[in-house]
Amino acid sequence: MEGQLVALASDTFKIALMIAAPMLLGGLLAGLLISVFQATTQINEMTLSFVPKILVVAAIMILAMPWMMNVMIDFTIRTFQMIPEFPSNG
């Protein structure tokens, strides 16, 4: 039983990282490109670095939403199917 709980916790962290990774990597890449642009042009405007990152993350979220939902639904179904395997304390 403890092994199943550890495996469930591990799967939870893996799926959370897998779902967050595209948005985090997109924001990281956009931030890097904007930083290089700001360094070459010597423009230090805060909104220039903030707004494009928000737009990139939002675009990636919209494009990846079907995939993210499928991953979440599959994980939820697997979790619900594991419920009868756990012994009750009653």
Domain that holds residue 48: 2-83
pTM of the model: 0.78
Question: Average pLDDT over the chain, rounded to whole?
Answer: 90
Whether 89 maps to a domain, the answer reads no
Whether 90 maps to a domain, the answer reads no
Whether 88 maps to a domain, the answer reads no
Question: Any residues with CB less than 8 A from the CB of 15 and at least 6 apart, and which?
Answer: 71, 72, 75
Which of 71-85 are b and which e, b meaning 16 or more Cβ less than 10 Å from the residue's Cβ? eeeebeeeeeeeeee
Residue 84 vs residue 27, higher pLDDT: 27
> pLDDT tens digit string along 33-46?
998 998 898 888 87
Whether 14 maps to a domain, the answer reads yes
Residue 73 has pLDDT above 80, yes or no: yes
pLDDT band at 56 (very low <50, low <70, confident <90, very high): very high
Task: Please tell me the total count of domains within the chain.
Answer: 1
